[in-house]
Amino acid sequence: MSYEKVKQAKELIIGLKQTTKAIEQNAVSEVIIAKDADSLVIERIVTLASSKGIPIAYVDSKRKLGKACGIDVHAATCGIKK
């Protein structure tokens, strides 16, 4: 499951803006997106990651993704750093 991948990752990029920036810089190996995130918010990340051939994994909850990232707030998306 992707929550486990997130917990085991050595370096994470957390949040929409930071993940977008990291994708543009080819600094991530995979992107994780919460299914309950607003589709308008994550549309750019999905398009950008797809165009660069970066795999996208989906998880059920922003709350659980934030917790897996080690933060106390929800996270719509995160990236696993290369």
CATH number of 41's domain: 3.30.1330.30
pTM of the model: 0.90
CA dist., res. 38 & res. 31, Å (int)? 16
User: The domain containing residue 15 runs over which residues?
Assistant: 2-81
Helix ranges, the chain (H): 2-8, 16-24, 39-51, 62-68
**Quick check: helix, strand or coil at residue 50?**
helix
**Number of structural domains found in the chain:** 1
Tens digit of pLDDT per residue, the chain (82 long)?
Answer: 578 888 888 899 999 999 999 999 999 999 999 999 998 889 999 999 999 999 999 999 999 999 999 999 999 999 999 8
Burial category of 4 from C-beta neighbours within 10 Å (exposed 0-12, middle 13-18, buried 19 and up): exposed
Q: Which of 40, 30, 34 lies closest to 8 in space, CA to CA?
A: 30
